[in-house]
């Protein structure tokens, strides 16, 4: 069913939270809790090979490169409500398939594709309900803040649900079934709460102007990649390799490297999501004061400290669990700072229109997740799970090096140029 938009002006006021945003609670629970805590150990246990878990997680991540395609489809056919609802429903279907699947790698791959495409749909279309709704600047900012906060809320809820399931000694099949039920409820709520918000979406073609025509020009791949924007994409990819390489195997790393049980692992992930909620507010205020580049650099430093600490603690005999838990939390707390600033940094150096810029940023993160999961699975199988932590140190360290040595000089040059260029219409 395509969305129909009435001819309305800018919406000046309204609640920061709307019920359709439950879809992002589902996104947070689905990725950061259900997928991260269920899929890797389930696949590893079923196949006896951690590399298989890495491949499955890599496929889920790689499917996120379809986000620009799905977003474009929703724009073209005004199907934002349909795509978002099907994304949540697809997550329910994916978990249900894992719950009833036999020990077949082919089925695991098919399930991974379903989950990955569903996540891509949610991440591509969800923000459009805010960014495309022709809201006042104040209302748009408040809704974006709430939308970003709801993913860690979902992470907390999902982690708590799984912790209870482990306490009740439920097997993987039952846990996947619970996850599927949770996502099905969210899908139903999403469909019935998106009718009116979908009508408010104003697409660029609805208000053509000279600036819009300018942004519709096509640009070559060389102009995208061999530029400061291309360097930004490389930095985001490397940082994603480290962060998501660990995330993809976190349910295997914690018990095998630090001796944590499944209940402790679920509790740690839930706690990380709880801390993320407050830090999104901190990150937003920091970015408003200091800009996206500063926040993205800070995120990379925090991420490197967390990964390095995890790797070093992993070398210790009888590694102190509390110390390991502290560094795990540090790693996870880099996420609010990175997520809230990466799009801003991308827009800072882009040479292409905003929609394409967003697509490339999503693709860079997805590519990093794919490579991190794939390489991490291989390292876990051939060397050991702590090798994933060292992979993260190398990848995130390289990202920080590129930031400091190359992107910051480009930022200073750009700032100098802007400061010395007269504004349009000035004398």
Task: Tell me how long the chain is.
Answer: 427
| Residue 276 and residue 158 share a domain | no
426 in a domain, yes or no?
no
Phi, psi of 250 (to 5 degrees): -60, -35
Please say if the pLDDT value at position 189 is more than 90: yes
| Residue 329 and residue 388 share a domain | yes
362 in a domain, yes or no?
yes
| CATH number of the domain enclosing 194 | 1.20.1250.20
Please say if the pLDDT value at position 331 is more than 90: yes
Section 91-119 average pLDDT: 89
Per residue in 136-151, pLDDT (tens digit) is 766 776 787 788 889 8
Neighbours of 23 (CB within 10 A): 28
| Residue 147 and residue 271 share a domain | no
| Residue 280 and residue 185 share a domain | no
| Residue 232 and residue 185 share a domain | no
214 in a domain, yes or no?
no
Beta bridge partners of 135: 11
| Residue 150 and residue 235 share a domain | no
| Residue 104 and residue 17 share a domain | yes
Beta bridge partners of 11: 135
Letter string b/e over residues 134-170, b meaning 16 or more CB atoms within 10 A of that residue's CB:
bbeeebbebbbbbbbbbbbbbbbbbbbbbbebbeeee
Please say if the pLDDT value at position 388 is more than 50: yes
| Residue 326 and residue 282 share a domain | yes
What span, in angstroms and rounded, lies between the C-alpha atoms of 247 and 239? Answer: 12
374 in a domain, yes or no?
yes
Q: What is the pTM of this model?
A: 0.72
Q: Do 64 and 276 meet the contact criterion of CB atoms below 8 Å apart? A: no
**Paired tokens of 207:** 């208000």
The whole-number pLDDT of residue 220 equals 60
Instruction: Give which of 374, 101, 62 is closest to 249, Cα–Cα.
Output: 374
Place of tokens 């890495």: 54
Domain span at residue 392 reads 220-412
Q: Which of residues 174, 202, 230 is at a domain's end?
A: 202
425 in a domain, yes or no?
no
| Residue 234 and residue 145 share a domain | no
Per residue in 350-381, pLDDT (tens digit) is 776 554 666 677 778 888 988 998 899 999 99
| Residue 372 and residue 322 share a domain | yes
The whole-number pLDDT of residue 206 equals 53
Q: Which of residues 202, 231, 263 is at a domain's end?
A: 202
23 in a domain, yes or no?
yes
Number of domains in the chain: 2
Please say if the pLDDT value at position 424 is more than 90: no
| Residue 227 and residue 122 share a domain | no
368 in a domain, yes or no?
yes
| Residue 186 and residue 235 share a domain | no
130 in a domain, yes or no?
yes
Per residue in 257-302, pLDDT (tens digit) is 999 988 888 888 888 888 888 898 888 778 778 888 999 999 999 9
């Amino acid at each position: 069913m395509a969305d129909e938009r009435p001819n309305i002006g800018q919406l000046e006021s309204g609640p920061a939270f709307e019920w359709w945003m439950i879809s992002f609670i589902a996104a947070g629970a689905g990725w950061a809790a259900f997928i991260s805590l269920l899929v890797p150990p389930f696949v590893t246990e079923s196949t006896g090979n951690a590399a298989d878990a890495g491949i499955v997680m890599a496929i889920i991540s790689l499917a996120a490169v379809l986000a620009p395609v799905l977003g474009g489809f929703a724009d073209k056919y005004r199907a934002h409500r349909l795509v978002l609802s099907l994304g949540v429903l697809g997550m329910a279907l994916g978990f249900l398939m894992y719950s009833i699947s036999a020990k077949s790698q082919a089925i695991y791959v098919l399930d991974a594709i379903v989950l990955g495409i569903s996540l891509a749909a949610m991440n591509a279309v969800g923000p459009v309900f805010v960014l495309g709704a022709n809201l006042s600047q104040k209302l748009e900012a408040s809704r974006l803040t709430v939308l970003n906060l709801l993913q860690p809320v979902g992470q907390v809820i999902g982690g708590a649900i799984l912790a209870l399931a482990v306490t009740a000694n439920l097997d993987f099949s039952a846990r996947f079934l619970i996850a599927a039920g949770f996502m099905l409820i969210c899908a139903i709520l999403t469909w019935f709460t998106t009718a009116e918000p979908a009508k408010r979406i104003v697409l660029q073609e609805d208000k053509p102007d000279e600036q819009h025509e300018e942004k519709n020009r096509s640009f070559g791949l060389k102009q995208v990649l061999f530029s400061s924007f291309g360097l930004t994409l490389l930095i985001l990819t490397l940082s994603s390799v480290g962060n998501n390489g660990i995330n993809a195997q976190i349910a295997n790393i914690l018990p095998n490297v630090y001796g944590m049980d499944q209940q402790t692992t679920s509790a740690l992930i839930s706690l990380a999501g709880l801390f993320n909620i407050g830090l999104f507010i901190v990150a937003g205020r920091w970015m408003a004061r200091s800009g996206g580049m500063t926040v993205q650099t800070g995120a990379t430093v925090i991420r490197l400290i967390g990964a390095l600490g995890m790797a070093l603690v992993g070398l210790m005999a009888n590694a102190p669990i509390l110390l390991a838990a502290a560094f795990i939390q540090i790693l996870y707390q880099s996420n609010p700072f990175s997520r809230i600033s990466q799009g801003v940094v991308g827009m800072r150096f882009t040479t292409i229109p905003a929609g394409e810029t967003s697509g490339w940023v999503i693709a860079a993160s997805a590519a990093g997740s794919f490579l991190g999961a794939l390489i991490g699975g291989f390292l876990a199988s051939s060397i050991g799970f702590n090798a994933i932590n060292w992979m993260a140190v190398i990848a995130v360290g390289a990202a920080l090096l590129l930031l400091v040595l190359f992107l910051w000089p480009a930022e200073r040059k750009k700032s100098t140029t802007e400061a010395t260029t007269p504004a349009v219409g000035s004398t």
